[in-house]
Amino acid sequence: MTTNFIPSFKKQAGDVIESHTKDDFILKELVPLSCLFERNSKWMIEIDLPGVDKKDIKVTVTKGHVVVKAKLEESYKVSSHGHVATFESLKKAVEIPPHADIRKISAKFRNGILVITIPKIEFGKRIPVR
């Protein structure tokens, strides 16, 4: 990805994004934004994956984490203090929330956002209502 408009935006916002790019540089992969929502009987994790094709997304469940890795269609370049770094992929490991039924995890990708749905394990003893 290259741009003509970005330099003016970058000049304005570049230093603010520095701490996030530090994570990128340490991990050598871009770290996407994500959110966790609790919806009644399920957890939903949304991960922002711009510039990615569905076929290039890999979702794996490891011990306690959902790991998402995605290849960018176009490489992303970041210049900082005269150095240019090129990133080809995004990666994020999200801790699985409590009481999640990992056998029933599902994922959907729409408009560049990956939505991972994890149903909650149902607990408790049913009490009959008389």
Partner 1 sequence: MISKNNLKSLKKIPKEPSVLLLGIPGPGLIGTLSVSYLVHALDMEIVGEIENLDTTPVVFIDGGEIFGPIRIYRSGSLYAVLSDMPIDYEMVVSFVESLIEFAQKNGIDMIIMPNGIQATEKDPNNIKTFGLSTDESLESIMYENEIPKFLTGMIAGPDATILSRMKNSSIPCLVLFTQCNFFFPDPESALNSIKTVSSIIKRDVDLTEFKKQMNYLRLQGRQLMEDTLNVLQQEKEAQKPPQIYK
* Closest distance to partner 1 from the beta carbon of 28 (Å): 15
CA 65/CA 47 separation, integer angstroms: 14
Q: Hey, what amino acid is at 11?
A: K
* Residues near partner 1 (CB under 8 A): 1, 3-6, 8-21, 30-38, 46, 48, 50-51, 74, 76, 92, 94-95, 111-113
What are φ and ψ of residue 30, in 5° steps? -70, 140
Q: Which residues contact 80 (CB under 8 A, 6 or more apart)?
A: 14, 18, 21
Tell the smallest beta-carbon distance from residue 84 to partner 1 (Å).
15
Residue listed under structure tokens 């994922």: 107
**Which residue's CB is nearer to partner 1, number 3 or number 106?**
3
> What is the CA 115 to chain-centroid distance, rounded?
9
Provide the minimum distance between the beta carbon of 15 and partner 1 in the complex, in angstroms, as a whole number: 5
**16/129 with CB nearer partner 1:** 16
Radius of gyration of the chain (CA): 19
Nearer to partner 1, 97 or 119 (CB): 97
Report the nearest approach of partner 1 to the CB of residue 55 (Å).
Answer: 17
